Structures are given as structure tokens and as C-alpha cells.
Amino acid sequence: MNLERLIQQLCDSQVDFVVIGGWAAIFHGSVHVTNDLDICYSRDKENLRKLAAALAPFHPRLRGFPDGLPFIWDATTLANGALFTLTTDLGIIDLLAEVSGVGTFEEACASSVEVNAFGRRLRALDLPALICAKKAAGRPKDLLMLPELEGLLEASRDE
């Protein structure tokens, strides 16, 4: 996965997004490893256009579907869905319009912090919101991260 290039492309294209998954945890100091990027994105019409254009050069396609399945990648497709699990030439990216336990993009943005990554400034869920999202997701891999995330939150409060 070329996470650096993916983040830079989204930022340079001025896409409104918040990193919400494992990479948000890593930005807060987690040692867990993830092989995908999860973002919550604004569904504003202009942002959908920017997001579609930003990823288009990297041939997004639906993950888990047969190769060759017709798939049109554009702002209209983004407007007609709310969750896209994609494979791109840069790696796996999941696009979510809402985050379980947190809410809409606007709510995710309000529960985020700015981070520096790969020479760019971007937003990632703050630790309390990330903990809520992991609890709401309820998957074993998310629940396994909770002790570490709660420890990171406690350590940040002690600073």
C-alpha cells in the first residue's frame, strides 16, 4: 500500500475527509498494523467531485467483486452510495459517509484533531471518538484495539 501517496493525493486535491480507522489510531501512537485507509468524507456535491477526481487516476474498483464488473467511478456514483470498499493502484481505501458511534462527516470532523502526516495536514478522529467508533463497530479486531486506545487516551490526559 502506498499510503503516503494516497494521503497526499486526497490532501492536494482538497478533499474534505477525516481518517477514521486504524490509521487514525496509528496517528495517535497505536502500534497496530493496518493494510487499508478508512475515511469519512463530506457528501457536499463539490467534495464528491474532488474525491472522484482524486482517486480516478488510480483505477478504483469495488473490492470483493469479480474483475471486469462494470463500475463507473464518478461523483454521481459517490452521490448514490454511502459506503465504498475500494481497491486502487495505491491500495485499499474504504469511504464512509457516516461512522458508527460517531455520526456524519460533520460530526466526525467535530470529533477530530489535525495531524501532520506525509508532509500534509489532515484530520483524524480524536481518541474518544475513535474509541466510540471501535466499540460501535464491535468487530473482534476493533475490540482488541480498545485497551491500547484507552491507554493512549489516559496517557494523553496525564500530559
Q: Per-residue pLDDT tens for 99-118?
A: 999 999 999 999 999 999 99
Beta strands in the chain (DSSP E): 17-19, 36-41, 61-62, 83-88, 91-96, 98-99, 103-104, 112-117, 120-125
Widest CA span of the chain, in angstroms? 53
Name the pTM for this structure.
0.94
What pLDDT is attached to residue 109? 98
Say how many domains are in the chain. Answer: 1
**2 C-beta neighbours (distance < 10 Å), count:** 13
Which domain, by its residues, includes 12? Answer: 3-158
- Lookup result for grid cell 500500500: 1
Q: Please write the tens of the pLDDT for every residue from 37-59.
A: 999 999 999 999 999 999 999 99
Q: What percent of the chain has pLDDT over 90?
A: 91
Cα separation, 10 vs 8, whole angstroms: 6
- What CATH number does residue 64 fall under? 3.30.460.40
